[in-house]
Chain A
Amino acid sequence: MGNSKFIIGGALILAAVAYLIVSSTQQAAEYFLTVDEINAQRDSVLDRSLRLSGAVLGDTIQYDPQTLTLTFEVAHVPGDNADIEAQGGLAAVLHAAVSDPARARIKVVYVGPMPDLLRSEAQAIMTGRLGADGIFYAEELLLKCPTKYEEALPEQASNP
């Protein structure tokens, strides 16, 4: 049969690709958690690769240029997109999170250059691990500042 060798070859390749995808997924999976979720499942997530999202609290940002150590705190923001929309969009949610002293917070440590976008009310999306000391050690830090695009119009608007 001329066809069978093609079928076997194709099946072998598909199996290899499926193996690559499954095993790489297992190795590289990062659990996406909110601050509340991390606090609730503290013990079970200890040595896992995590992805954490939160609102940056501007007053807590500290940077030591000698060691390039950056520390700051993030406040809980909902992880579900529908929730964020229901609460008036990302900018409003971040603002509310930062203004609310009762919100759950977590301390973050990151070593590296100070990111350009780090400021109060930015959304930080961090990849890293939760230490036994309750501090989140970030290896990667992404920032999003919706305020820049959705801020209210300036006061000095004038009528022609």
Chain B
Amino acid sequence: MAQLTYREAVAAGIAQEMERDETVAFIGEDVARAGGVFKATVGLFDKFGPKRVIDTPISEQAILGAAMGAAMTGMRPIAEIMFSDFLAVCWDFVANEMSKSRYMSDGQLKCPLVVRTGNGGGSRFGAQHSQSVENWAMAIPGIKVVAPSTPADVKGLLAASVRDEDPVIFFEHKSLYPIKGEVPEGEHVDTLGTAKIVRSGTDATIVALALMVPRAIQAADKLKIDHGIDVEVVDIRTLVPLDMKTISSSVVKTGRLFTVEENPRLCGWGAEIVSIVVDELFWDLDGPAVRITTPHIPLPAADNLEDITLPSVDRIYSKILDVLR
């Protein structure tokens, strides 16, 4: 095992796939010579050169369109949209094009590409550079949606995304880039559509994603120490395909469900999971399913305001304690 940061795992995952497959190439704004604004792609340009690691103009529609045209005709491109907020300017390609071309052509067109993007809050960037928009992507049939929480998952799920035959939107959490973790040596490929129990427990289930996963684990640890409440934490890892089996078996075991989401309240992914659980596991629940979310507001820039906006360890801890008591 090697210790890598989350951002180093991004570069390691891309490098692993580019070494393996000549048809993998990487495009985006400032991704090549500068190594990315988050330094998540440092070293790739030196290693693979200007043919395969390409700096593009600020043209998000051209970036996703070019990736799509290349994917349709035989490549496996990786395209970076610097901040996930910017997906809004090229959303046509996500919502109408890469997601629908296979269906509309009845299988004639394919689109094996990965859109990597910096997602999420905590960086004091304000409302247009901080959003968690994975729930936007989840609402569209025809694409897959991935959001890893650890360096190992970044590398393994990124590799799986590159090898997948469908378009994948890969949400990297900006606040997780500096964290370190063990990453398996050598080739590492994970499986899309698999959630992971990252902390075992018997009293309640927290379902979380990306930055909310380490916060949920800390809150669970504290609940155990302070109150003997034993909470299980499920890291969803991929919203589509959604591993309901893992989530459901945890809920059946604990009888309680909490979702911790960075999305604003309305139509966050937790709403879908709660709805499925209520549909299918109502009689297994010992109490209401509870969503812990960002309030339905744009994200503020000031650090004290942003801190009370995103679900914190304390908020998760207090909410669960309130509900279970």
| A, B co-complexed | no
